[in-house]
Amino acid sequence: MTMLKKNVTDIDVRGKRVIVRVDFNVPLDKKTGEITDDKRIQAALPTIRYLIEAQAKIILVSHLGRPKAGPEAKFSMKPAVDRLSELIGQPVTLAADVIGEDAKHKAELLQPGDVLMLENVRFHKEETKNDPVFARSLASMAEIYVNDAFGTAHRAHASTAGLARYLPAVSGFLIQKELDVMGQALQNPKRPFVAILGGAKVSDKIGVIENLMDKVDTLIIGGGMSYTFFAAMGKEIGCSLCETDKIDLAKSLIEKAEKQNINLLLPVDTVIAETFAADAPSQIVCSGKVPEGWMGLDIGPKSISEFTEVIKDAATIVWNGPMGVFEFEAFAGGTREIARAVADSDAVSIIGGGDSAAAIELLGFADRVTHISTGGGASLEFLEGKVLPGVDALLDKNPRRTMAAGNWKMNAGTPAEALKLVEALKPAVAKAASEVVVAVPYTALASVVEACSYTNIKVAAQNCHDQDSGAFTGEISAKMLAGMGVSHVVIGHSERRQYFAETDESVNRKIKAALNWGLRPIVCCGETLDQRESGETLSLIHSQIVAAFENLTIAQAAFVTVAYEPIWAIGTGKVATDEQAQEVCAQIRKTISELYDEETAASMRILYGGSVNAANASGLFAQPDIDGGLVGGASLKSDDFSVICLAGHA
């Protein structure tokens, strides 16, 4: 994910209204309502100052606390506005609402360099539901979206992912730093690579352990989660914290580490007490020999010494989770000394947010580590290898990143069939550089959308109606699809043109309907065999593209992918030669340049469809004007489709 997404420097913001998702969910004093820690506001300053200097018109949006029943004064963004105004040395206006008249009026009045803060976005329940109507209304105030809230990037909310459906979306400097530093550590770490995992529960870290197991040289496990591993080894843990339902998992992880020659380190001694209390009398015992009625609350001095030796020689360190109950001074020694060892090391050191970040701040080592992540849950999910919706929604650095779009047609139409296919596909395409899309039957859309959450697989519908509602029996609107969480829609498929008499005009109407609801259209064009043999191909394709893009702005056109699908090659086993496919795709790009400009044409993604398979994909995708494929039958076989997906480039 490093460097693959555009950031705020990759887009022209001068004089434009830019809506910026920030994380100003700062702690407030319960009595005075004053901010007790402004680090989250400070973290957003580089992006805000850049936008001010670039003379953008800045609209900030954030949440604060957990309001449950609409607007509540105690959760107003006013304290954050006041503090931000002090930090940037200029007034910051606070809107009285989020998408109401006051917010929209104040957004209209913005001058270059002005800053407006919307009220708490979670005053609207539609925010966390990623409601498309709410997201579209929020987007209507701006021309560009910048996400700089890494702490919420793991949530598919309206202000984190929904806005990117309607506006060109890029990251701010904070998210870019998170992706660069943590991404580098995971993708190409300096070695030895040491991961330190602690905290209470194995269940909180299963994904992280499994993902890091393929990358690290040494895995140190401490904290409450270590006792589940000791239980898995048949050791005595007294009444220490233990997830009995995760014992078999712990056994399998121990076996996997041994098989992969990973140095898995558990504490050799443990600080124990009879009660969970700050002043509980304690003693030190060998790990795995905790007496009945006693509980482990910290790692002991021998463990600290052993772990420190490994940390001292590390070149890359990732730490997530404390070694003990660091909130109690008597049981903070392990966490403190591990923090000191990380701070003293020469390694690239990354603290993965949450309790680890709090501990290293509290213990005074924050300025001696390479990077402290601003996202607790987000950093954890990033370390797990999950796709973060708030990052995934941003524009790719390469607008012509290969797309492999599988069109299932009327196959795998039941949820059970579709889920079986998707579950087989997930691991097969997990490392694909291509953007992976599956266009599934309507009957399975909801199931597949849910199954593909937090993965690199996007979901498309195979068609949509051009009206939002009405007496159109059996039709599905773009609005309905957006409400389901569908991200793409195939429009004007060559088979539909042939069998259902879809016209250029109806295709154009459907494209506009899709864009109106934040769907990404994959627009098809193509000729029959008779038309090809009579020499009509290039002129026909030209007219189809002109009609499809009629009255679309440059901004709208940027969200469209074109697929050349010769009707004579669909389901026939025939396929255009590389040269034939390239010739038509070049014509499409030439037509786009005539309709708009060379820059728009150069960044337009164009696919080839028509009997694409594992054997011919790499040759087709290597053509200069072909950026992927719309794949039929081969997309129903995970082995074949994964080969096609892996044939692409980032």
Catalytic residues: 493, 565
Question: How many CA atoms lie less than 13 Å away from 482 in the CB half-sphere?
Answer: 28
For 10, phi and psi rounded to 5 degrees?
Answer: -90, 5
Name the residue among 462, 464, 457 with its Cα closest to residue 479: 464
Q: Are 403 and 612 in contact (CB under 8 A)?
A: no
Q: What three-state secondary structure class fits 34?
A: coil
Contacts of 609 (CB under 8 A, 6+ apart): 407, 494, 524, 526, 563, 564, 565, 570, 629, 630, 631, 632
Q: What three-state secondary structure class fits 58?
A: strand
Task: Please give the Cα distance from 579 to 638 (Å, whole number).
Answer: 28
Q: Are 452 and 156 in contact (CB under 8 A)?
A: no
Cα–Cα distances in angstroms (integers) from residue 290 to residues 284, 294, 302, 305, in the given order: 9, 6, 16, 20
Question: How many CA atoms lie less than 13 Å away from 130 in the CB half-sphere?
Answer: 23
Task: Tell me how far the alpha carbon of residue 512 is from its chain's centroid.
Answer: 26
Q: Are 208 and 197 in contact (CB under 8 A)?
A: yes
Q: Token pair of 428, please?
A: 């097969």
H runs (alpha helix) in 385-431: 389-392, 415-429
For 509, phi and psi rounded to 5 degrees?
Answer: -65, -40
Helices (H) and strands (E) in the chain, counts: 25, 25
Task: Please give the Cα distance from 96 to 98 (Å, whole number).
Answer: 7
State the helix-helix crossing angle for 415-429 and 638-646, rounded to 10 degrees. 40
Rounded to a whole number of angstroms, the distance between the first and last alpha carbons of the chain is: 10
Q: Are 426 and 447 in contact (CB under 8 A)?
A: no
Task: Please give the Cα distance from 227 to 292 (Å, whole number).
Answer: 14
Buried b / exposed e over 219-244, threshold 16 CB at 10 Å, is: bbbbbbbbbbbbbbeeebbbbbbbbe
Q: Token pair of 147, please?
A: 């996400």
Q: Token pair of 104, please?
A: 């929209």
Q: What three-state secondary structure class fits 286?
A: strand
Q: Which residues pair with 170 in a beta bridge?
A: 146
